[in-house]
Amino acid sequence: LKIDIEPIRLLFTCEPYVIFTKRGYQAAVNVFDQKRRTEHFIYLGAQSLAEQLEVLRASNDGRLRGIEVWIRKKDATKFAKYYVEE
């Protein structure tokens, strides 16, 4: 799932896991796109994304599963920071 500057409502449907990519192992998590009613996964390697999700995870008994958030990027550049809101 590609996240851009348009906010997208996502529900985390599992806990983070690792998958093998051409860059080695990457953290990922399954999400459900609430608007399109489709399942995807997203990578969790971006620091700006991981730090915000860690705060939410810590306040949810150490779990991401079941958390629903709005996610978007600050701008359209490749390395733009992510914004996460409940």
User: Which tens digit of pLDDT belongs to each residue from 7-44?
Assistant: 999 999 999 999 999 999 999 999 999 999 999 999 99
pLDDT at position 19: 97
Strands 17-21 and 24-33: antiparallel
Residue 65 burial by Cβ neighbours in a 10 Å radius (0-12, 13-18, 19+): middle
**Strands, DSSP E only, in the chain?**
8-12, 17-21, 24-33, 38-43, 68-73, 82-85
pLDDT at residue 38 in the model: 98
pLDDT digits (tens, 9 = 90+) for 36-68: 999 999 999 999 999 999 999 999 999 999 999
